[in-house]
């Protein structure tokens, strides 16, 4: 998009007028509030949304970087949130964690800790090219971490249920492997990798196992508690060394908020950046960020305490029922095939009968933002409470799109899978 560069504003813009202009800019946004965006936004109920928002703005100005020097409230809330996660993920007594800005940062920190532990143990290989072994479904945040830290990524294929092929992953591990990764669940197909088997593999090779529970970590344990067959993925498995889990996805907390946990507090210290060469003395953070929004910590603390076990169980019940309803509707469409049995609310489906990308194009024309997968070619839904009222309209438009594509009533346009 060509856009003329604007001059620095002259100032004096009054708020109601600025707000009106901003709302005008938003008028062309996708209608996420009506459930037409199957990613980016996660919602539970109106109450937990309001609690998160109010808590966020009550601590809007506080800086979590200063939690130990000035904002003891933020330090206390952050410690509580990390305790809640350690409890949820069955962490041992000596475990520790950090509050970060998102999954990408949580993953970066865990991989840094794994690399630094490897270097500490294998000084003979410290300068060698090192690698990470992960499923092809691993999130691009690992690619970012690997590019930044000069690591190679080796991608293991999947078996037919879309979970990683553990034996194939094993064949990719060598003496320069700093970490093995599994997802709970993986973003593309919504299924949880066999973390127990990966833990055994990690034990055989004495390699760090990271579980990427970014998308579903804070909700998945409640799916199990309400009686779903959602598998375990956490520190219960002996060789899980670290877990990333985003509060701002299915924890329903305000952005930016994620967590990273380490089985051994020594690894949290390894991940921590400490610098003291500059004139102001020691600067140590267990995160990439320096300044962090106090509001994100407060918002997470408030939402977690507002929902608690009963609230997350209720959310799990609602979202499980909604996912089942979507699956029932999809199963009733003969052209549609499910590419994986979802462990949470992420659904990936395609078709052998019609070009699913052509169907996606028709959905886009009707105002739906579509998530796509490339292999296999498919549509991708990540359902939260916003999507329940949208289900009938979505399914109707999906069916209409299939009919249009079958009858060749659609334009030939290229769709490209992109996040
Ligand atoms: C979203 C996601 C990430 C990255 O998290 P951000 O908060 O977007 O940085 C990592 N892994 C998985 C599986 C995810 O779904």
Q: Which residues line ligand 1 (CB under 6 A)?
A: 102-104, 139, 141, 183, 187, 212, 214-215, 246, 258
DSSP letters spanning 209-257: EEEE-TTTTTTHHHHHHTT--PPP-STTSTTEEEEEEETTSTT-PPSS-
Looking at ligand 1, which atom is closest to the CA of residue 213? 13
Distance 277 CA to ligand 1 centre (A): 33
Distance 83 CA to ligand 1 centre (A): 21
User: Does 53-305 carry CATH code 3.40.640.10?
Assistant: yes
CATH C-level class of 309-408? alpha beta
Confidence of residue 413 (pLDDT cuts 50, 70, 90): low
Closest residue (by CA) to atom 5 of ligand 1?
103
Are 246 and 215 in contact by the 8 Å Cβ rule? The answer is yes
Residue given tokens 């594509």 in the structure block: 405
Distance CA 384, CA 333 (A): 22
Q: Beta 130-135 vs 151-156: how paired, if at all?
A: parallel
Q: Which residue has the higher pLDDT, 266 or 413?
A: 266
Distance 249 CA to ligand 1 centre (A): 8
Please say if the pLDDT value at position 262 is more than 90.
Answer: yes
Closest residue (by CA) to atom 12 of ligand 1?
214
Residues of the chain with CATH 3.40.640.10: 53-305
Cα 54 to Cα 7, 8, 51, 58, distances in angstroms: 35, 32, 5, 6
Residues forming a β-bridge with 378: 373
Please say if the pLDDT value at position 396 is more than 80.
Answer: yes
Confidence of residue 410 (pLDDT cuts 50, 70, 90): confident
User: If you average pLDDT over residues 354-359, what whole number do you get?
Assistant: 96
Are 180 and 198 in contact by the 8 Å Cβ rule? The answer is yes
Phi, psi of 85, deg, nearest 5:
-65, -40
- Residue 1 burial (10 A CB sphere; 0-12, 13-18, 19+): exposed
Closest CA to 260 of 291, 239, 286: 286
Encoded tokens for 88: 């949820």
Portion of the chain with pLDDT greater than 70, in percent: 99
Encoded tokens for 219: 């909700």
Question: For residue 402, how many other CB atoms are within 10 A of its CB?
Answer: 21
Please say if the pLDDT value at position 2 is more than 90.
Answer: no
Distance CA 56, CA 74 (A): 11
Residues of the chain with CATH 3.90.1150.10: 309-408
Choose one of 41, 187, 348 to mutate for the ligand 1 pocket test, by most ligand atoms within 8 angstroms of C-beta.
187
> Looking at residue 164, what DSSP letter applies?
B
Closest CA to 155 of 129, 183, 132, 135: 135
Q: How confident is the model over 7-50, as pLDDT tens digits?
A: 999 999 999 999 999 999 999 999 999 999 999 999 999 999 99
Instruction: Write down the pLDDT at residue 116.
Output: 96
């Amino acid at each position: 998009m060509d856009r003329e560069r604007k001059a620095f504003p002259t100032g004096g813009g009054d708020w109601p007028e600025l707000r009106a202009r901003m709302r005008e800019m938003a008028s062309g946004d996708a209608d996420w509030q009506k459930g037409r965006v199957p990613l980016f936004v996660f919602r539970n109920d109106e109450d937990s949304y309001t609690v998160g928002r109010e808590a966020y703005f009550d601590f809007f100005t506080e800086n979590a970087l200063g939690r130990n020097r000035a904002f003891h409230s933020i330090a206390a809330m952050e410690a509580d949130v990390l305790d809640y996660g350690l409890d949820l993920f069955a962490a041992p007594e000596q475990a520790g964690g950090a509050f970060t800005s998102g999954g990408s940062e949580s993953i970066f920190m865990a991989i840094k800790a794994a690399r630094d532990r490897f270097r500490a143990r294998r000084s003979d290989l410290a300068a060698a090219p090192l690698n990470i072994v992960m499923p092809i479904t691993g999130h691009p945040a690992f690619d970012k971490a690997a590019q930044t830290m000069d690591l190679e990524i080796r991608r293991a294929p999947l078996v037919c249920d879309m979970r990683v092929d553990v034996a194939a992953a094993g064949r990719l591990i060598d003496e320069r492997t700093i970490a093995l990764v599994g997802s709970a669940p993986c973003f593309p197909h919504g299924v949880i990798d066999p973390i127990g088997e990966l833990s055994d593999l990690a034990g055989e090779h004495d390699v760090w196992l990271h579980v990427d529970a970014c998308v579903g970590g804070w909700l998945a344990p409640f799916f199990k508690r309400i009686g779903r067959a959602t598998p375990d993925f956490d520190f219960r498995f002996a060789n899980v060394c670290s877990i990333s889990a985003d509060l701002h996805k299915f924890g329903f907390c305000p952005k930016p908020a994620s967590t990273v946990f380490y089985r051994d507090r020594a690894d949290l210290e390894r991940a921590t950046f400490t610098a003291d060469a500059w004139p102001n003395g020691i600067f140590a953070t267990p995160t990439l960020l320096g300044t962090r929004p106090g509001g994100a910590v407060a918002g997470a603390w408030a939402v977690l305490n507002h929902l608690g076990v009963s609230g997350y169980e209720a959310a799990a019940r609602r979202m499980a029922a909604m996912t089942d309803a979507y699956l029932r509707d999809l199963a009733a469409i003969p052209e549609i095939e499910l590419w994986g049995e979802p462990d949470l609310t992420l659904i990936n489906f395609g078709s052998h009968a019609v070009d699913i990308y052509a169907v996606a194009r028709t959905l886009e024309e009707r105002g739906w933002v579509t998530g796509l997968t490339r292999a296999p070619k498919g549509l991708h839904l990540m359902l939260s409470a916003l999507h329940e009222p949208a289900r009938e309209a979505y399914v109707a438009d999906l069916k209409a799109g299939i009919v249009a594509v079958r009858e060749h009533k659609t334009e030939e346009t290229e769709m490209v899978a992109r996040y």
